[in-house]
Chain A
Amino acid sequence: MDRKSVMKRRLQSIVIIFVSMAIFIVIWWALSIYFDLNYFPPPDVVFEAFFDSFVTPDPNLGITMGQNIEASFARFLEGFALAFVIAIPLGLLMGFMPWVDTFAKPIVELIRPIPPIAWVPFFFVAFGSFWNPVLTVFIGVFFPLLTNVVLGVKSVDPSLLDAARTQGAGRLTLFTKVIMPFSVPYLMTGVTIGMGVGWMCIVAAEWIAAVGGGVGYYILVQQQVGNYPYMFAGMIVIAILGLLTVTLSGYAEKMIRKRMGML
């Protein structure tokens, strides 16, 4: 395809996206006017609340939306970091050493089906309001990371291992110079999936309790005081954060694959 038709195709997509967004807002508007419910405000009221929430500190929480995002984002990152530190080494070992896989698999498979949200009450009782959201994110992100790292290690082309061995590589070198680099793009796929799951977890965990605010907690509080436009504003914030992080991570994944020549 030449440059001109690429540009044309891109322009077309942008137009279609605008039309789709416009239709979405019109339907929202129509429904909200038709039902005329105070807990289902029209888009203009919500957007106004959205922008105001960043400027005016919330009377119930005493902080602005920016500070709430900061609080949630910090927990998100802490949970992610924890999952990283545990899932990557475990995944590498499970992929590389069959006995570790056999040993860890039953435990992993038993815990995996439990939705991260189901852990929230336990985490709150056991670890308190600081660790609860962090651990919930950890649980949500841990499994996609682990699965993809294990998949990465198991997908290593056997001829690459043969090639490395004929070059004098021992077991440790095979691991550090072939298996680990090979798994990086797979790990990135896990990160992108984890980004999506992480935001669901943070909102659910903050509903029980959150010291120092948080977007999930904010949504709940606005509902309780009947401040519905601001409740929707919180939902929009979560949507934007999720979209942003998943898109960024997807882009990073693509870049890494390209740089590593593993498209």
Chain B
Amino acid sequence: MILTIENLIKSFPKKEGVMVAIQDFNLEVKEGEFVCILGPSGCGKTTLLRIIAGLESITSGKLLLKDKPIIGPGSDRGMVFQEFALFPWRSVRKNVEFGLEIKKVPPTERAAISERFIELVGLKGFENYHPNQLSGGMKQRVGIARALANDPALLLMDEPFGALDAQTRNLMQKELLRIWLETQKTVIFITHSVDEACYLADRIVVMTSRPGTIKEIFNVTIPRPRDRASVEFAQLRKTILAELEREVVSAPIARDNSEANV
């Protein structure tokens, strides 16, 4: 197992008592797997990803990356952000090389690595552009290249295509699968789009509303490239949608129980 999450609990202190964001979360992720975490907004899925990234601490439970506990952020887990989070004053190349600079990789090696990943994400020729000269889709390509340049064990993606228009989004999903196949990375992908999860994932983890925990895990066996118009795809989407819909409907009740309104 590359990632092991056992009985994870995350709660935030509140004025009165605590707000439980994630409760009894158990998940094991295999090397090379593409896992989508799907849930209604506010279910704690982004918090979960930030915990895996080391940007948030856990309240209790076990969180292991290759059998070693995660204690803080590190370049062994690359993260891709919904709002891109590119450094505006750095060129595409310099953005991709950011982590390598920190690791003090020599400039020639750095250039070779960034060139490879810029080419991988299809941005050859745009090395010297600045983020504000790029479209949303291109920005996220830079985000992916930057995360991969550190050769991380995990690629964490927080609704990475959420800010893109529908067409760009579909294209980027295709591109991501190509990149995933080429790099053989383990991906944990947060989304609230059932369609996106069905298209991308090996496994889909459906979360409940707050406090967030696993409701059900779906293994997706439909061979890639997946045809959105196929019967199996529609069937899967329908099943998950129904599951999720029940969750959204029950959300206010769950919220009352956990006293969560942040």
Interface residues of A (CB under 8 A from B): 157, 159-160, 162-169, 173, 177-178, 181-182, 184, 259-263
- Comparing B14-22, B83-91, B170-178, B224-232, the segment that makes contact with chain A is B83-91
What residue in chain A is nearest B129 (Cβ atoms)?
Answer: A261
Known: A167-B99, A167-B150. A178 touches B87 (CB 8 A): yes
What residue in chain B is nearest A170 (Cβ atoms)?
Answer: B102
What residue in chain B is nearest A157 (Cβ atoms)?
Answer: B85
CB contact list, B75-95 vs A, under 8 A: 75, 77-79, 81, 83, 85-89
Q: Are A261 and B103 in contact (CB under 8 A)?
A: no
Q: Are B75 and A166 in contact (CB under 8 A)?
A: yes
What residue in chain B is nearest A263 (Cβ atoms)?
Answer: B132
For chain B, which range describes its interface: under 10, 10 to 19, 20 to 34, or 35 or more residues? Answer: 20 to 34
The binding surface of chain A is classed by DSSP as helix
Partner of A162, one of B85, B130, B133: B85
Q: Are B74 and A262 in contact (CB under 8 A)?
A: no
Q: Are B55 and A167 in contact (CB under 8 A)?
A: no
Q: Are B98 and A167 in contact (CB under 8 A)?
A: yes
B131 at the interface (CB under 8 A from A): yes
Q: Which of A165, A167, A263 has the most CB of B within 10 A?
A: A167
B146 at the interface (CB under 8 A from A): yes
Residues of B within 8 A of A160 (CB): 85, 87
**How many angstroms between the C-alpha atoms of A168 and B98 in the bound complex?**
9
Q: Are A177 and B55 in contact (CB under 8 A)?
A: no
Known: A163-B79, A261-B131, A261-B132. A168 touches B102 (CB 8 A): yes
Partner of A164, one of B53, B98, B103: B98
CB contact list, B49-66 vs A, under 8 A: 50, 53-55
What are some 29 contacts across the A-B interface (CB < 8 A)?
A: A159-B85, A162-B50, A162-B53, A162-B79, A162-B85, A163-B79, A163-B85, A163-B146, A165-B55, A166-B54, A166-B74, A166-B78, A166-B79, A167-B98, A168-B75, A168-B103, A169-B102, A177-B98, A177-B101, A178-B87, A184-B89, A259-B89, A260-B88, A260-B89, A261-B88, A261-B89, A261-B132, A262-B88, A263-B132
**How many angstroms between the C-alpha atoms of A184 and B86 in the bound complex?**
17
Residues of A within 8 A of B74 (CB): 166, 168
Q: Are A163 and B81 in contact (CB under 8 A)?
A: yes
Residues of B within 8 A of A164 (CB): 98
| Whole-angstrom distance between the Cβ of B103 and the nearest chain A Cβ | 6
B73 at the interface (CB under 8 A from A): yes
**How many angstroms between the C-alpha atoms of A225 and B50 in the bound complex?**
74
Partner of B73, one of A166, A177, A181, A263: A166
| Whole-angstrom distance between the Cβ of A166 and the nearest chain B Cβ | 4
Residues of B within 8 A of A177 (CB): 98, 101-102
The proximity string for B residues 120-157 relative to A, scoring 1 for CB distances below 8 Å and 0 otherwise, is 00000000001111000000000000110010000010
